[in-house]
Amino acid sequence: MTLCDRERCTGCGACAASCPQNSITMVPDEEGFLRPSVVETCIECGSCRDACPVLQPGAPAEGGTTAYAAANQDRAARLASSSGGIFSLLARWVLTQGGSVFGAAYGRDFAVVHRRASSLEELEALRKAKYAQSDLGGCFRQVKELLEGGEQVLFTGTPCQTEGLRTFLGRPYDGLLLVDTICHGVPSPRVWQRYISYRREQDAGGAQPVAIDLRSKETGWPGYSIRFDYEG
């Protein structure tokens, strides 16, 4: 099965999620970015090509789009967010309606992973930008299952990921809210892990960090900084 050209693949994983044979896995390439790899159980059904946002680009919105500028009125929420804290407002609204929110969190060893939040407590981990490609795991399939069951879902991610989810789903759902970030591109997860190792050695003699904030506002809003916290 021929997927989209490697140079144009964003690693969104829509192909892997759509495969009825589970013949596509997402594996790190030589730079550490997740890319699809097809194994021999592939029956060449073409589901992956239909789900690929590069091969099936969406039509531009008719009549253009309307832009609004807004910021969260709660200062504490803005400080706990990367930017204006609008994500938290949208997510809270969906959660109070009984829906689910999907976004990027830190997993084991601060690897960036997408996960579901169905409570305000779980939402905390999704706030703030993490600057590495996130592993979507089984999120696309989980989103589809929830939507098919009539539930409300807010999915946030990079524009490449939200577009991948849209083509994977293949049709609009009333319960779906797609929110993407303004994004100049995601760094490689391998570079991210190497940066963490470098900081551990430099800052704390190899100690494991307990928290990482890539958009700390302690040094001010325009001059925001990176903060690593270590045990002890």
Ligand X SMILES: Cc1cc2nc3c(=O)[nH]c(=O)nc-3n(C[C@H](O)[C@H](O)[C@H](O)COP(=O)(O)OP(=O)(O)OC[C@H]3O[C@@H](n4cnc5c(N)ncnc54)[C@H](O)[C@@H]3O)c2cc1C
Tokens standing for 30? Answer: 């030589």
Among 13, 36, 53, 103, binds ligand X (CB under 6 A): 103
Segment near ligand X (CB under 6 A); pick from 152-160, 166-174, 195-203, 205-213: 152-160
* Contact set for ligand X, span 77-96 (CB under 6 A): 81-88
Look at the block and give the residue holding tokens 């989810």. 165
Q: Which is nearer to ligand X, 1 or 28 (CB)?
A: 28
Q: Which is nearer to ligand X, 23 or 103 (CB)?
A: 103
Under the binding rule (CB under 6 A), the answer on residue 183 touching ligand X is yes
Question: Is there binding between residue 176 and ligand X (CB under 6 A)?
Answer: no
Q: Which residue from 182, 220, 222, 223 is in contact with ligand X, where contact means CB under 6 A? A: 182
In angstroms, rounded to a whole number, what is the distance separating the alpha carbons of residues 137 and 121?
A: 21
Answer whether 20's CB lies under 8 Å from 47's CB: yes
Query: Count H helices, E strands: the chain?
Result: 8, 8
Closest CA to 188 of 10, 6, 3: 10
DSSP letter at 81 equals S
| The only residue of 18, 134, 152, 167 in contact with ligand X, by rule CB under 6 A | 134
157: nearest Cα among 181, 140, 173, 135 = 181
Interacting residue with ligand X among 94, 156, 166, 209 (CB under 6 A): 156
Both tokens of 55, joined, read 């091969």
Q: 23: Cβ–Cβ under 8 A, 6 or more apart, which residues?
A: 1, 38, 39, 40, 41, 42, 43
Asked if 26 is part of the footprint of ligand X (rule: CB under 6 A), the reply reads no
Binding of residue 115 to ligand X (CB under 6 A): no
DSSP state of 22: -
Question: Which of 127/166 has CB closer to ligand X?
Answer: 127
Q: Which is nearer to ligand X, 23 or 128 (CB)?
A: 128
Which residues pair with residue 115 across a beta bridge?
103
State which residue, 47 or 116, has the beta carbon closest to ligand X: 116
Name which of residues 192 to 231 contact ligand X (CB under 6 A): none
Which residues here bind ligand X, judged by CB under 6 A? Answer: 81-88, 103-104, 112, 126-132, 134, 156-158, 181-184, 186
